[in-house]
Structure 1
């Protein structure tokens, strides 16, 4: 078998495994992109000279702006770690440390800036919205008011139920606390009664000379101070 042949009987080329590119197609795409960028730079310059802000022109495929159906939960990001590319901390352009908008390729350092950006015309144009809101009909307004009223009434009913439940739980806790205090008071009284009965029993068995704890403390203190008694002496 010849050294230039292949296992399939065909000569092997040096570039058979490489992907073929249509140079003319890529050149046309590059030319079109350059023309679009040049047109955008011109439009930006004209808007700046006129004292206006440049927005991406509409192509007719945009939709009306609608309210966000979900809220952004920023609290779940507390304590998390995000890997960012080198040099991402400079400027807003590109992905960096903070709140990243993929549609506009911008990063914001706090949630207030991010919310303001999502409401801006720049962001609305980049996500394919016109920035205009459809005017609601009278029927839609009434339906919306009724839905909000029903939701408010449901919230009040839930609050009343919750308040009643909390009051009931608090009553049960107070009853248990009173019962616990009553039990401890009875135990203390019973312990003191038993101590008195034990002391009286010892005094009965051994006589009056038996010293009971705390019984003669006052006499001992008077003797320590030098007072033996306050009796009177009779005159002759």
Structure 2
């Protein structure tokens, strides 16, 4: 590499390698953006003076508003943490702690506010919808009603079947529990009956003075402690 060379393959004093910017083009873009913002501020002010709410004007590229094909699952957010930029907790504008709408750059503190916002005209215009829905024909209405009716009937059938199955399983479990209690009770009664029979047999063969296991344990313990009885003694 020559003495005057550089890492860019050109002389150190040559600045032609730097990116050139069209200042006039960027100035025109900035001017157009400022003009658009000025017109929007004017439109917002006029709507406010008339007691109306400002909505983004239509440009012809919007589509008709359609029903959501998905549901909002907020339960998955329970117990989770969210990192937000400093100072984001003030106001709704920008990303903050809560439910964020990227299309409108707004944050809502609870899910009810967020759902209401997604149904508002402001959100519909922000996502490129007109806020108007397609007028359905009579055939489409009948078909939709029939579809919803069939779906509800299927849900009811599933619930009935599930309820019957749960009741049947519970009934079988209760029957098993009762049978197990009866078995243990019979075993305990049979064990006590055999013990009585054995004791009666032993006394029959050897007489009433025979020692039966466990029958004289209390007397033996008293004798081992030196107590022969608790009767009164007379003074001599």
TM-score scaled to structure 1, two decimals? 0.83
Structure 1 residue 127 corresponds to structure 2 residue 139: no
- Give the length in aligned residue pairs: 220
Equivalent position of 2:180 in the other structure: 180
Q: Which moved more, 1:97-106 or 1:159-168?
A: 159-168
Structure-2 separation of matches of 1:64 and 1:195 = 89
Per-residue CA deviations over 1:68-99 (Å, capped at 9, x if unaligned) read: 11110111000001110000111111000000
Per-residue CA deviations over 1:127-175 (Å, capped at 9, x if unaligned) read: 1111111111101001001101111121122123222322321232122
Equivalent position of 1:234 in the other structure: none
Equivalent position of 2:76 in the other structure: 76
Q: What displacement does 1:178 show? A: 2.3
Q: What displacement does 1:8 show? A: 10
Structure-2 separation of matches of 1:2 and 1:162 = 86
Equivalent position of 1:107 in the other structure: 107
TM-score scaled to structure 2, two decimals? 0.83
Structure-2 separation of matches of 1:163 and 1:8 = 77
Per-residue CA deviations over 1:51-83 (Å, capped at 9, x if unaligned) read: 111111111111111111111011100000111
Q: How does 1:28-43 map to 2 (within 5 A)?
A: 28-43=28-43
Structure-2 separation of matches of 1:154 and 1:92 = 43
Q: Any unmatched runs of 5+ in structure 1?
A: 216-223, 227-236
Q: Which moved more, 1:6-15 or 1:64-73?
A: 6-15
Q: Which moved more, 1:30-39 or 1:5-14?
A: 5-14
